[in-house]
Amino acid sequence: MTTAVSSSTGPFLDQAERWTAHNYHPLPVVIASGEGAWVTDVDGRRYLDCLAGYSALNFGHRHPALIAAAHAQLDRITLTSRAFVHDQFGPFCEELAALCGKDLVLPMNTGAEAVETAIKVARKWGYKVKGVPDGQATIVVAADNFHGRTTTIISFSTDPDARADYGPYTPGFRIVPYGDLDALTSAIDDTTVAVLIEPIQGEAGVLVPPPDYLPGVRAVCTSRDVLFIADEVQSGLGRTGSTFASSPVVPDMYVLGKALGGGIVPVSAVAASHDILGVLRPGEHGSTFGGNPLACAVARAVIALLNTGEFQANARTVGAHLHERLNALVGHGLTAVRGRGLWAGIDIDPALMTGRQACEALLARGVLAKDTHGSTLRLAPPLHVTAEEVDVAVDALQAVLKS
Ligand SMILES: Cc1ncc(COP(=O)(O)O)c(C=O)c1O
């Protein structure tokens, strides 16, 4: 099915195509407004948002509590830089540390910056605390990872689209298959300062590791004096039905982003103990915008929403409904369904259509989703979505698979 492009949509699409680098391949829809789990395009057509900003919109579009926090802060002060302390900073750090059960947090802006922060902190911890010889630190990572787009991060990507043509690459990373505890254990030696993994691999297609994997990673990191860094940028903050997807396993460092900014401003952070984040001294790391007053005010409202537990609970119950309905489609157009909570990776039978074609057909039926790796779709609606709204999405998918 092809998507009809309206006379109002066309010029916006053409202008975007003409004036931006082609580093994305967006679906042909031009969004003008959003509320809750729904967005409206320039023609007034409504769509159920099942991408939710790659989980940056866990609380939906323009959640009233988040918008109120942003408005209130816009009327007071938005940026100070970390050269001065502002009145949202301490409360934000304390509240996020409490949410994570950690001593300290370090705020940044994007997920990639937070991952970079985690890598730098782990290396410094390795030299100053663990006693790794200078310049020798290694970090064990997983194949098919997605941790962001900086030069260092793509140096340990196994995705040719992300990596090719951007060398020379940053050394110091060992790549092992995801979910393979033996391989991970074998890759650790005395130079290893950290294991950096996603508790569930999002971009790879919502890959859930075997149940004994994260507890095993925790145990080997503890026994080998290696930091366990969990990149929860996409998996964290309620998406899987708990605040952190790694739960009940507790990593040494959380890397957070996306939903922390409430879909309003980019906010990311790492959270860890004094022993780890305490290695940083003034001037050694920073960001002009990291921890700004607007970001902190919005993120505090995000943390307050998470502290109610309502979003995690809804992700569990409505997520169970989502998975039940999706699993019923395996063998009827889907070849596999993976995931947890309100997060699903579904594989479309490649004999039927590509993932892109499925997304275009869903768009025509009023559902927004995005493909990854050929025939996989990720479904990640906002966490307050209802079972009825999930039915709207799955009914549309079912119709697309039959068409
Ligand atoms: C697990 C994970 N880490 C890091 C990132 C990078 O975040 P950002 O795009 O905000 O830099 C992403 C983005 O999708 C992600 O999924």
Q: What is the pLDDT of residue 3?
A: 56
Cβ–ligand 1 distance for 198 under 6 Å, the answer yes
The residue ranges of DSSP E strands in 261-382, in sequence order, are 268-272, 334-339, 344-348, 367-368, 370-372, 376-379
Structure tokens given for 157: 């990507």
Q: Distances from the Cα of 128 to the Cαs of 222, 229, 286, 313, in angstroms? A: 18, 18, 19, 41
Sequential DSSP letters for 339-358: ESSS-EEEEE-TTT--HHHH
Task: Say how many CA atoms lie within 13 Å of 82 toward its Cβ.
Answer: 15
For residue 111 the two structure tokens come to: 């997920």
Query: 37 with 369: CB under 8 angstroms?
Result: no
Query: Given this model, what pLDDT does residue 1 score?
Result: 44
Cα distance between the two ends of the chain: 8
Looking from the CA of residue 268, the nearest atom of ligand 1 is 10
What's the gap in Å between 141 CA and the centre of ligand 1?
15
Handedness of CA 174, 178, 180, 185 (dihedral sign): positive
How many angstroms separate the alpha carbon of residue 234 from the centre of ligand 1?
7
Substitution candidate for ligand 1 out of 234, 235, 239 with most atoms within 8 A of CB: 234
How far is CA 76 from its chain centroid? 30
The alpha carbon of 331 and the centre of ligand 1 are apart by a number of angstroms equal to: 32
Q: Which residues pair with 255 in a beta bridge?
A: 231, 270
CB 168 within 8 A of CB 113: no
- Closest Cα to atom 13, ligand 1: which residue? 148
Cβ atoms within 10 Å of 125's Cβ, excluding its own: 24
**Tokens standing for residue 222:** 């503890």
Q: From the CB of 206, is ligand 1 less than 6 Å away? A: no
Question: Under a CB-based contact definition with an 8 Å cutoff, are residues 280 and 106 in contact?
Answer: yes
pLDDT block averages, 10 residues each, the chain of length 403: 74 96 96 98 98 98 98 98 97 98 98 98 98 98 98 98 98 98 98 99 97 98 99 98 98 99 98 98 97 98 98 98 98 98 98 97 98 94 98 98 91
Paired strand residues for 253: 229
Q: Which atom belonging to ligand 1 lies closest to the Cα atom of 266?
A: 10
Tell me the CA–centroid distance for residue 378 and ligand 1, in Å. 15
| Ligand 1 pocket check for 115: Cβ under 6 Å | yes
* Overall pTM surpassing 0.95 (yes/no): yes
* Residues whose CB falls within 8 Å of the CB of residue 154, separated by 6 or more in sequence, listed in order: 162, 163, 166, 169
Torsion of Cα atoms, 153 then 158 then 163 then 168, to 10°? 70
For the CA atoms of 126, 129, 135, 138, the dihedral, rounded to the nearest 10 degrees, stands at -20
- Angle at Cα 243 formed by Cα 242 and Cα 246, nearest 5°? 75
